[in-house]
A and B are shown apart, each in its own frame.
Chain A
Amino acid sequence: MTELNSNNNNTENIENQQNNNNNTNNAVVFGSKYKHNLRSTVSIERTPNKYSDIIDLLLSPDLEIVSSLCSTTLVRETVPNSVHISEYLIVFFEYHCNLKSSYILKWAIDKEIENTSNSATLFRGLSTATRLISAFYKRVGESYLKYLLQPFVIDLCSRNFSFEIDPEKAGKGVNIQANLEKLITITQQLLDKILDSVDQCPLPIRQILNHTQEKVEKRFKSMKTTVVGGFIFLRFICPAIVAPEAFGLIPREEEPTSETRRGLVLVSKLLQNLANEMPFGSGIKEEYMSYLNDFITNNSTRIHVFFDSLAQDPTQQQQQIQPLQQQQQQQQQPSSTSTNLNATNNNNSNCSSNHTSSNNIGSGVSTPKLTSTPLGSVQQSSGNHNEDSNSNNNNNTTNTTTTTNNNNNNNINNNNNNNNNNSSNNKLNSIIMTEDSITDNLNVLMNQIIENREKIENYIQENGNIDSSSDIIKRLDTSLQAAKQKASYFNFWGRGKDKSNISGSGGGGGGSSGGPTTSNGKLKKSPSAGVVSNSNHIQQLQEKEREKEREKDKDKEKDKDKEKDKDKEKHASQKKLQLSQSQHTLVLDGISTNGGNINNNSNNNKSLLKNQGQLSEELEMRDQKEVDNLNLMAENSRLKKELEDAKSRNNLLRKLREELEREKSEKKELKLLIKRCNDRLKSLDDQLDLINDLQPWVDDNPPSGNHDLQSLIEETLGVGGSLSNRKKSNSSLGISKVRGYDTAPTTPTNTILSSSTTNIPSITNAMINHNNINVNICAINGSKDTTSSSTLISATSTPTISIVDNCTTATSSLQPSPQPNSQSVNLNHSTNYIPHLDVSCDSNNSSTTSSFYNNQNNLNSNNNIKKSSTNQSISESLMSEISEADESKSGSNISISSATIHSNSGGNNNNNNNNNNNSGSNGKGSNSTSGLSRKNSTTSEMSMADPTNYENQNLIIQTVVEGGEILDDSACDLLEFLKEVASKQELQKSKERQRLQEEKENKAKNSVFFKFSSKFSSKRRSKDGKNQPLSPPLSSQNSQQEKDSPNSGAALSLNN
């Protein structure tokens, strides 16, 4: 159907063209005829009559209805998927209108041109004309676009590479130059194809372009070509390139990628700018597109030719110029050839321009990159180097400046140093000058002093006696010698002439001294006159001689000094002889001396002016010099000797001083030794005094001791010879019993022997007699020795001290004493009861005896243990007491008494009785207490013994009472001790009762023990009552005094 319609349209078109020609010829006709003529024959014949009115309305000459429709639907057509009325209108006019769509298009274009005021916006915005034209292109030009663009687009889409030219979009790795080249090549290819496609373009399009160009040329002459370009490229070609899927060039499903689309956009932009004759430039649009301006300039001429050829209507040309067809053909041929040539030239130029542009671009692009990095780095490095070098140079310059400054400073310092040195030299010079001046002044002073002395001496000579003149002369000689020496020293150390003058003036004498000097001057004058007369050669010799003469002059001056000294001596001798001279002479001498000085000065001046020169004089002067030197050396040697002597003397003095110091030190040492000897002697004397003090005690002791012992012996022997016999029997019985049954009692006998042996060596010569007596007694009764010694010791001590000591010792002794007393009691009981029991047991029962023997053995063993313990305690007490000097005496007594107690406890009843008597007679508390304890023990023995023992007990009690009366103060103490003893006795009784009860429980059968216990208690009570009323005898007092002496002896022995 469509094909048939298109064929019909083609045929109709041809017919319409013919009709158009007629119409143009018949332009004058308008009105109904014209209307009737616009309608096509086909539409009249085929369409039904009922639509003819509508068609006639739409086909009205002014097209009012069409314009209103377009205006209302213009905007809405832009919405996608909407009704496009413009397309339907074109279809309608092509079918029903004789002129077809060109009629409506021309109408719209004319209207657009009339309404537009600004040429720039012509056919740019949305309008009916632009809208109808675009619809017309889609219907008519579809095949033309496919012919032009479809191969290009398909080829470009198949490739997958980018044409990005913008450096901001492209990455760093992309080569923009390559992309530019690609872009230009493909666009050039496309452009060539488009420009050669004039004949393939449909005629209706070309007719409309012709119409628009004619109309625009009338109103806007400048827009002639741009309008055509706008219609062809902006509205037809470029949109197809940018969106090929919308124009059916490629399937809609296959949309191009972003990269390919970017490439298509760039191509379209390039073609659009070419058509619009607008180059890419800076400040207008994208700057990176400016590289493509060469393409535009190269192709601008060809594009104009293309537009002109399109705008021409080929049909009109053929009709108008039918006879000139041949000419036209000829013209076309050279134009085509010319275009071909231009194309080739353009290609060449393009290639060259491309190369140049590529070179330029490459150089422009690469050079800044290449130069930027190395130049930057070089600049940086150079900057660094420059900075470093500058800094180094600055450092160097600073160093150099510092060095120069240092050098300058050094120079300045050197100058300063030089100045300092100069100043120091000046100072030294000044110091030297000062020294010289000092020496000169000293010389002057010395000379003045000498003069004054001489004057004083002269006065003394005048006033003094002749006798003293000799002394004065000697003194003057000595002074002169001293002056000479001083003068010689000054001459020797002198330097200038002035000094010699001064010395000369000092030694100035009378007029005679001036004479020889003048004579010497005369002699000097004559040789000088002779010399002057000689020639010039001699003058040189004269100068030399003058120098020599000057030296000689100095020597002469020295000689003059000596002469002056001699003159002085003469004057002195004269003065001495002429004591009678008056003061006027002295005054004249002074004047003469002054005159001499003046003469000397004048002579010296003359000598300087006048010159003399003789060898003889020179030799003489030399000899004199030598002599002078020798003299000086001699003097020096003398002085040295004197110094040595002085040194030796000093050394001697030092030695003497050292010797003195040594002697002093020795004396001190001796004194110390003497003091020490004296101290030793004093100590020895003290010892001797002590020894002497000891002697009278020794002398005093023997007679008293002898008397006491004798009295004691007599008393004991007188009292009872029978007792002695009985004692012996008792002792023999005791010993036999002990030896037979127990070994323990033997130990106390040994102790007695040891004590006696110890006592013997300590006694003095006087005591030996006493010992002899004691020895005799010991042969009888060993116990007496100890008692005798105790009595002696007690006698020596003072009564007050002894009392106090005894009390203290008694208290101490009481504590350990109860135990041995109890022991002794037990032992005594056992020993005393044995014989009776033995007799009874032997006679009656043997079994009982065995039991008693066993009990006795147990008791003895217990007693032995107790003794050992008590002995230890006693020994400790003794050591403590011996350390104390005052208490040592009483301690010894106690120890002896305690020893005796233990020894007596063995079974010697008689010995106990004797000891008790002796101890009671002492009258001391300690002895009394021991005596009482012994009494208790003896009471047990008395029960068994004979009645004679009762008398002994009474005697003991008397002695105790006598002691109390003598010492009233001690009586109270005794009473206290008695109370204490009573309390202890009660304790002992309680203990005894306990033991007895134990024995009773064990042995209830024996009734004998009960009897004995009752007897003991009754006897003790009776004794306590008896003690109180008794009175002591006077004889006992003497015995007490005698007894004190052995105590003192014992003390001395201990001290010794």
Chain B
Amino acid sequence: MSAFIYNNSNNNNSMRLCVMGDGGVGKTSITIQFISNHFVNCYDPTIEDLYRKQCLIDDQVYMLDILDTAGQDELNAIRNHWIKSCEGFILVYSVTSRSSFDQIQSFLDQIKFLKSEKVPIIMIANKSDLDDERQVTYQEGENFANRFGMSFMEVSAKYKLNIDEVFNQIAQHCVKRRCDHIYINKSIRNKNSIFKKFNQKLNNTFHSIC
């Protein structure tokens, strides 16, 4: 059992992650394993669930807001809102379902269409313990991830294999991107300030001539 830690978290110390994938691949089981450290056998379709956990990254505490989404295509309309509000994405597929692996492409296309900037994305293959029913190999997954610049990892929600590593890695990528983003913004501001000064000079000369 784990109790939610209620803290007045600031924007700088909280980040929002989105878990996406086809229906029935194990998105909710992965998040609950990370949050509550136990496996859920019962199946209950998810419309939209939000979980929260506090973790330590680079000697600093961050609050992770994890958004568990619906995998059914009928709820595709609401997916846009999810993508806009999140800054990190965990794309999940099941090794026992080829269609779920094929559907990752559509998720990537939708993310790139909505996000103008490059965002940290990680692809994971769940149900790695069901080798008898495997339809997608490790190599296929790794090649696909490398092609699109994503990190790849096979996990098992039932046996809690590589679950914590997934969330820690995606969080670190978000922190790094955030720092880089700040640096870029500063440089942009400097450029803007230079242009402003130049414009002021031009205006002054213009007025002086008139």
Contacts and interface: CB of A to CB of B under 8 A. Distances in A.
Nearest to B31: A285
Nearest to A240: B74
Contact of B52 (A78, A79, A168, A272): A168
A126 B73 contact: yes
Interface residues of A, number: 44
A831 to B, nearest CB: 118
A527 B203 CA distance: 163
Given A239-B74, A243-B78, A78 B44 contact: no
A245 B36 CA distance: 36
Interface stretch (A93-101, A127-135, A728-736, A879-887): A127-135
A269 B48 CA distance: 8
B51 A286 contact: yes
A721 interface: no
A285 B106 CA distance: 27
A523 interface: no
B24 A285 contact: no
B133 interface: yes
B72 interface: yes
B40 interface: yes
A239 B25 CA distance: 20
Contacts of B99: 74-75, 125-127
A257 B103 CA distance: 29
Contact of A78 (B32, B77, B103): B103
B103 A126 contact: yes
B180 interface: no
Nearest to B7: A168
A272 B47 contact: yes
B88 interface: no
Interface stretch (A116-124, A328-336, A609-617, A846-854): A116-124
Contacts of B76: 78, 80, 246
B44 A273 contact: yes
Given A121-B24, A269-B48, A278-B42, A239 B103 contact: no
A261 interface: yes
A166 interface: yes
Contact of A239 (B38, B44, B75, B110): B75
B32 A125 contact: no
A79 B105 CA distance: 9
A285 B28 CA distance: 9
Interface in A244-280: 245-246, 261, 265, 268-269, 272-273, 276, 278
A63 B44 CA distance: 34
A124 B38 contact: no
A236 B109 CA distance: 26
B6 A168 contact: yes
B74 A124 contact: no
A265 B48 contact: yes
A285 B52 contact: no
Interface in A461-510: none
Nearest to A244: B77
A284 interface: yes
B77 A243 contact: yes
B182 to A, nearest CB: 26
A261 B102 CA distance: 30
B50 interface: yes
A238 interface: yes
Contacts of B44: 273, 276, 278, 284-285
A759 B101 CA distance: 167
A230 B45 contact: yes
Scoring A125, A235, A245, A282 by chain B CB atoms within 10 A of each residue's CB, the highest score goes to A125
A167 B106 CA distance: 35
B48 A272 contact: no
Scoring B22, B47, B71, B110 by chain A CB atoms within 10 A of each residue's CB, the highest score goes to B47
A126 B74 contact: no
B100 A126 contact: yes
Contacts of A134: 73-74
B159 to A, nearest CB: 17
A111 to B, nearest CB: 14
B43 interface: yes
A349 to B, nearest CB: 25
B106 A246 contact: no
Given A78-B76, A168-B52, A268-B47, A124 B23 contact: yes
A234 interface: yes
Interface in A50-91: 74-76, 78-80
B207 interface: no
Contacts of B45: 124, 230, 234, 272, 276
B140 interface: no
Given A75-B106, A79-B106, A285-B49, A121 B73 contact: no
Given A125-B100, A285-B49, A130 B73 contact: yes
A283 interface: yes
B120 to A, nearest CB: 23
Contact of B110 (A80, A131, A268): A80
Given A134-B74, A239-B77, A283-B1, A125 B47 contact: no
B103 A243 contact: no
A239 B4 CA distance: 29
A242 interface: yes
A261 B47 CA distance: 12
Contacts of A230: 45
Given A75-B105, A121-B24, A126-B99, A286 B50 contact: yes
Nearest to B105: A75
A510 to B, nearest CB: 131
A402 B78 CA distance: 80
Interface in A551-604: none
A238 B24 contact: no
Interface string A279-308: 000111111000000000000000000000
A1028 B60 CA distance: 141
Contact of A131 (B32, B73, B97): B73
A79 B22 CA distance: 14
B64 to A, nearest CB: 13
A285 B68 CA distance: 10
Nearest to B5: A168
Interface in A111-154: 117, 120-121, 124-127, 130-131, 134
Given A124-B45, A125-B97, A242-B75, A75 B50 contact: no
Interface string B71-105: 11111111001000000000000000101101101
B28 A120 contact: no
Scoring B32, B73, B76 by chain A CB atoms within 10 A of each residue's CB, the highest score goes to B73
A125 B50 contact: no
Interface in B16-33: 22-25, 28, 32
Given A125-B100, A242-B78, A283-B36, A78 B133 contact: no
A166 B4 CA distance: 12
Contacts of A166: 50
Interface in A303-346: none
A136 to B, nearest CB: 12
Contacts of B78: 242-243, 261
Given A166-B50, A265-B47, A282-B1, 6 more contacts: A79-B110, A124-B72, A168-B52, A234-B45, A272-B45, A284-B40
30 contacts: A74-B99, A75-B99, A76-B106, A79-B109, A80-B76, A80-B110, A117-B133, A121-B24, A124-B23, A125-B23, A125-B24, A125-B100, A126-B22, A126-B99, A134-B73, A134-B74, A235-B72, A238-B47, A239-B74, A239-B77, A242-B77, A242-B78, A243-B75, A243-B78, A282-B1, A284-B32, A284-B44, A286-B49, A286-B51, A287-B4
Interface of A: 74-76, 78-80, 117, 120-121, 124-127, 130-131, 134, 166-169, 230, 234-236, 238-239, 242-243, 245-246, 261, 265, 268-269, 272-273, 276, 278, 282-287
Interface of B: 1, 4, 6, 22-25, 28, 32, 36, 38, 40, 42-45, 47-52, 71-78, 81, 97, 99-100, 102-103, 105-106, 109-110, 133
